[in-house]
Structure 1
Amino acid sequence: MSGSQSYLVVGSGSIARRHIVNIKTLFCEARVGCVSASGRALCLEEVGADIVYQSFEEALSAEPLLAIVASPAPFHVSQAAMLLRAGIPVLIEKPLSDSLESFAAAADVMHANSEKIEVAYNLRFMPSAIHLKTLLEKRTLGRIHHVLIDVGQYLPDWRPATDYRENVSARKELGGGVLLELSHELDYLTWLFGAFDSVYCVASNSGALEVNVEDSAYAILSRGDGLVASLHMDFLQRAPSRTCKIVGESGTLIWNLLRNSISLHTAQDGEKILFSDTEYNRNEMYLDELSRFVKVATGELKPEVDIYQALNTLRLVEALKQSSVTRQVVNIGDFSS
C-alpha cells in the first residue's frame, strides 16, 4: 500500500491521536485526515492530522484507502457503515458497539463487508499474549481448572490532565463503564480459552467517582466442561493491576500484562519465568495492529478480530449486564444480534 495515499481517522480523543501518529510512523508520506465524531470543528494542532474535515461527506470525498473509527462506542457502527458503503475498509476501536441493538441498525452492511472490518482488541498483539496462547495450545498446564482475571486502575489517574468525569469511560451515554471500557479482558478470555455458556455478575457504582456508569464488576463464567473463570474489573484501584492467573493440573501460569511477563509455578520447580520484556513499548502493539490491518484492507489477510468475534464479546457484555440487574445466572446464548 502506497504511503502517499489518504488515510482517515474518525474521532479526536487520545486513541484517535495515537492512530494519527502511528499512521505517520508507518507511512511517512501518508496524508492523514481527521473528522470529529460529533461534527464539531477541529484544528490541525489539536489532532496532529494533515487535514481536518468539516463533515463526514467531505472526509469521504477524499477517498481514503482505509479508515479508523475512534469515536465513542455508540457511533461506531453507524460511522463504520457509512465508510463501508463507500468501499472503505475500517478498523473499529473496541468495543464494536455500545449494544447489540445499536449494531442491529446496520447489521446488513456490517455482515456484507465483514472481511473489510477489523476490531481493535490490541492486547492480542502483545508479545506475552502471543507467547501465552502458544503455551496453552501446548497444554503446558494439562487440564485447566480455573482462570482468574483482575484489571483495575483509579479512573482519575488514567488521563490526569483532563477531567475524568468528561471522558468516554465515565459517561453512560458514550458507552462508558468497566464492562465496555475494559472489554479487552472479555476478548482475550474467549481468544485464549474459548466460549463460555453462562455468567453471573455483580456490577455496581460505588459513588466514589461521581460518574453514571458501573465502576466495578465481579463475574463468574462457566461452561459444560467444568472450566470456570472469575473476573474482576474496576475504576477504583490506586495501584494499577492487570493480571490473568491460570490454574491447571500441573501448575499455575501468571500473566502480568503491565510487566509483559509470564511465570510458571509448579510444586517441583517453584517459580520459573517463561517470558519477560519489561522494557516493551506498549505502542508497539498498536503499530503491529495497524500494520496487519493494512494487509486486511488490501485483501492479503483475514481480520485478526472480525465482527463475529467482537459480537460474541458484546453478547457477553450484555449477558453480564442483565445478570447484574436480575441477580441471576444468565445464559450467554440467549443473546443474539
Structure 2
Amino acid sequence: MSVLIIGYGSIGARHAKILSQMHRTVSLITRQKIENYTCYETIEKAFKENVFNMVVIANPTNLHYETLKKIYLLNFQGIILVEKPLFSNLEAIDFNVRENVYVAYNLRFHELFNHLIDILKDDALLSFSVHAGSYLPDWRKNTNYQNCYSAKQEQGGGVLRDLSHELDYILWICGKCIEVTAMGGHMSSLEINSDDIYSILMRCENCPIVNIQLDYLSRVPMRNITIQTKKQKTIFIDLINGCLSLNGEILFNIKEPIKNTYILQHKAIIEKNFADLCCFKQGLAVMNLISMIEKSACEKKWVVL
C-alpha cells in the first residue's frame, strides 16, 4: 500500500511513523524536507508522479474541505482518511462524496470500548458522563501554544473541535442526539482566541442523560467516563490510563491504550475492515452537533436536533 499524507505537523508525523512501521510506502505533502520520505509541494504533483492507495488529510482543520474537494476533482479512487474533525464548520457539500471517506476518530478503537459494549449487553444506559481535558500549553513540546492551530479559531482550533473524539464516541454508543444545551467559549486567561472550555448536556436515543465537560485547562490530563445503567451498574473508564472498573472493582487494566488506537485504526483500513471506522456521514453528524452546541451556548437555550 502506498500512502500520501497531506500535512506534516504532529498528527501527520504520527500517521507517517505508524504507517512506515507497518511497512507501507509513505509520501508527504509538505514544504519541509523530511528524511526517509518522498516529499511533494502540491497534491497535483504527487498524483502526477506516483500512484497512491490511500490519502491521509492531516493539514489544519480549516483546509480540510478544500483539500478533500481537490482530491475528488483529481479523481482519486482510493481510501481517504480525514483527521478529526471533518471540517472546521458544517459545510454545504458541492461535490459527490463516495463511500471511501473516513474520519480519524481513533478512540473508537480503544480496547476498553469493546469491554464496555460487552458489559452493556442486556442492559440500558441511564447516564453517560464524560470529562476530557488537558492543559493546552503542554500539548506540543518545544512549541509556543499560542502559535498552534488549536489556539486559533480561524484555523479550526478550539476545544470543541480538538476533543470532538468525545462527541463521536458518545453518538456511537449513546445514539443520535435528540436535544442539547451548552455553556462555553473562551473563558480562561490562556492567550488564544478559540474556545477553551465547554459544558454540555444532551438527551440521546439510547441514553436519557449525557453530560460532557471539555477543556484546555486540566493540569492533570484526563479522559474519564462514568456510566450508570438501568440494572444499577456503575462503570468507570479511564481512557488515558487504560482502566475500567465495574461497581468499584477493576476489571481491565491495559497498557498504552491511546497509542494502540492509532495502530488498530490503520490496521483496520489495511485489512479493509471498515465497520468501526467513522464514515463521512457520521463525521458530518459530529459537525452538526458542534454547530448545535455553539448555537445553544450563544442563544442560551435547548436546541432540538
Corresponding residue to 1:82 among 65, 70, 92? 70
Aligned length: 301
Deviations 1:75-120 (A, max 9, x none): 112212322322232111111111112xx244x332xx12x11211
| 1:5-24 → structure 2 map (5 Å cutoff) | 6-24=2-20
What is aligned with 1:132?
116
- Give 1:207 deviation, angstroms: 3.9
- Give 1:302 deviation, angstroms: 5.3
What is aligned with 2:58?
70
Is residue 33 from structure 1 mapped to residue 23 from structure 2 by the alignment?
Answer: no
Change (3 A) 1:257 1:281: closer
What is aligned with 2:266?
290
What is aligned with 2:192?
211
Is residue 276 from structure 1 mapped to residue 253 from structure 2 by the alignment?
Answer: yes
Structure 2: gaps of 5 or more residues: none
Q: Which secondary structure does the structure 1 equivalent of 2:278 belong to?
A: coil
What is aligned with 1:58?
45
What CA RMSD, in Å, does the superposition of the two structures yield over aligned residues? 1.8
Is residue 183 from structure 1 mapped to residue 164 from structure 2 by the alignment?
Answer: yes
Take 2:124 and 2:17, find their aligned partners in 1: how far apart are those partners? 43
- Give 1:226 deviation, angstroms: 6.7
Change (3 A) 1:212 1:90: same
Q: Which secondary structure does the structure 1 equivalent of 2:146 belong to?
A: helix
Take 1:20 and 1:315, find their aligned partners in 2: how far apart are those partners? 30
More displaced stretch, 147-156 vs 158-167: 158-167
What is aligned with 1:327?
300
Corresponding residue to 2:135 among 154, 159, 164? 154
What is aligned with 1:221?
202
- % identical aligned pairs: 29
What is aligned with 1:95?
85
| Contact 1:204-1:217 at 8 Å conserved across structures | yes
| Contact 2:60-2:149 at 8 Å conserved across structures | yes
Q: Runs of 4+ in structure 1 displaced over 6 angstroms? A: none
| Contact 2:89-2:287 at 8 Å conserved across structures | yes
The letter of the residue matching 1:12 is Y
- Give 1:321 deviation, angstroms: 0.5
- Give 1:274 deviation, angstroms: 1.9
Q: Which secondary structure does the structure 1 equivalent of 2:154 belong to?
A: helix
Is residue 316 from structure 1 mapped to residue 297 from structure 2 by the alignment?
Answer: no
Corresponding residue to 1:256 among 204, 216, 238? 238
- Give 1:205 deviation, angstroms: 0.9
Scaled by the length of structure 1, the TM-score of the pair is: 0.85
Is residue 169 from structure 1 mapped to residue 150 from structure 2 by the alignment?
Answer: yes
| Contact 1:81-1:109 at 8 Å conserved across structures | no
| Contact 2:180-2:293 at 8 Å conserved across structures | yes
| Contact 2:5-2:58 at 8 Å conserved across structures | yes
